Amino acid sequence: MADRVVLAYSGGLDTSVCIGWIAEQTGAEVIAVAVDVGQGGEDLEVIRQRALDCGAVEAEVADASEEFAADFCMPAIAANALYMDRYPLVSALSRPLIVKHLVAAAKKHGATTVGHGCTGKGNDQVRFEVGTAALAPEMKVVAPVRDMAMTRDKAIAFAEAKGLPIDVNKKSPYSIDQNVWGRAVETGYLEDIWNAPGEDVYSYTQDPSVPREADELVITFEAGVPVAFDGRRVTPLQAIQELNTRAGAQGVGRLDMVEDRLVGIKSREVYEAPGAIALITAHQELENVTVERDLARFKRQVDQRWGELVYDGLWFSPLKNALDTFLAEANAPVSGDVRLKMHAGRAWVTGRRSEGSLYSFDLATYDEGDTFDQSLAKGFVELWGLPSRIASARDQRLAGGAQ
């Protein structure tokens, strides 16, 4: 039996060419695996058939949208995951799920190698290969675009020579990756970081400068997970999809940033993630109401580190797994309602309530009914500032003696 390679298959030019390329270069049989994480576009059956027509001995397609929303996007909400405080990990979250399906298919079909179509400049090569190593250390990896110098011109020539059933002439000016959590756009004229993105860049969001009525809804969370909109129960996938539509219609979630890639270069990326930004905004505010101060302060550090680990391809790492346990515990009290308003490219909270609220009107009010004993504050301030007072007196004494 020939060696087998399980290839992460998107249905596009590069991965379609990779099927025959790998077979010619290695003599292995190629099994294509396409995973739907809510990216829309072509029917999965069409993609499966294209893989077979391009030379795959077998092709599998998996509708993993529900799994992606529940097991990958919901933990990202729990962590308020925003890389560099802005990017909601659109591509980074989907890669470990794809790896999981790749490895499962490899074991099912007796493959010794997994393959991907990533370049050597991006983060995805790391995410695919490190994820594979974590789940199946014995697996080898093949990356034709990176390791076999498979340029776009060579890919087009190969497709034409082999008569592959793909459109090799139509070329978008952008490189686009999308799923239900958001959409990432790069390359083309966007590589000049002075150029402003035009409206043709966007698909998930409407122009926020166009006048329209604001949209408002109440999001109910249970232990950090959104479970209802205006009292109507929703699944994780439905929550994201509905807010992609509603927040997207308000132009919420557009991001234009220069980010630090794992490989050490800076890259200009344009993102649109309306559902992700709206849900994280609401979740953060409910945490403000329900999470104790010191836990909240420490959690902000955990949130940042969790996001960095996921961005860096370490979803299956011991540290990331341990932080998941912390985040689950920290989110245990994060239940209640958040009223969210969306308009003109912004999403902001206008109300919050929770049975587990730590906010006390009687302690916070400055009006009649105040139960806070202000007489205690004087001594507190004295003791709180004592170390600084002592250090300052010492520094002044030493400075005076040095003159």
**Residue 298 CB neighbours (<10 A):** 12
Distance CA 193, CA 378 (A): 53
Give the DSSP H or E segment for 23. helix 13-26
Strands 232-233 and 225-229: antiparallel
Which runs of E-coded beta strand occur in 163-320?
175-179, 182-186, 215-222, 225-229, 232-233, 254-260, 266-272
Active-site residue, 95 included:
yes
Question: Choosing from 36, 124, 303, 312, which is the catalytic residue?
Answer: 124
Contacts of residue 21, defined as CB under 8 A and 6 or more positions apart, other chains included, come to 144, 148, 150, 158
Dihedral over Cα of 49, 51, 55, 59: its sign: negative
**Is 124 tagged catalytic?**
yes
CA-to-CA separations, 277 to 80, 266, 273, in angstroms, rounded: 9, 23, 6
Handedness of CA 300, 302, 305, 310 (dihedral sign): negative
Check if the beta carbon of residue 69 is closer than 8 Å to that of residue 236: yes
- Given 71, 146, 175, 317, the catalytic residue: 175
CA distance 55 to 164: 9
**Closest-CA residue to 83 (of 345, 259, 243, 224):** 259
How far apart are the C-alpha atoms of 98 and 36, rounded to whole Å?
A: 9
88-114: buried (b, 16+ CB within 10 Å) or exposed (e) per residue? bbbbbbbbbbbbbbbbbbbeebebebb
With tokens 């959409």, the residue in question is 183
Q: Is 175 a catalytic residue?
A: yes
User: What is the 8-class DSSP label of residue 83?
Assistant: B
Among 202, 308, 281, residue whose Cα is nearest residue 248:
202
Name the binding residues for ATP. Answer: 8-16, 117
Query: Catalytic amino acids?
Result: 14, 95, 124, 175
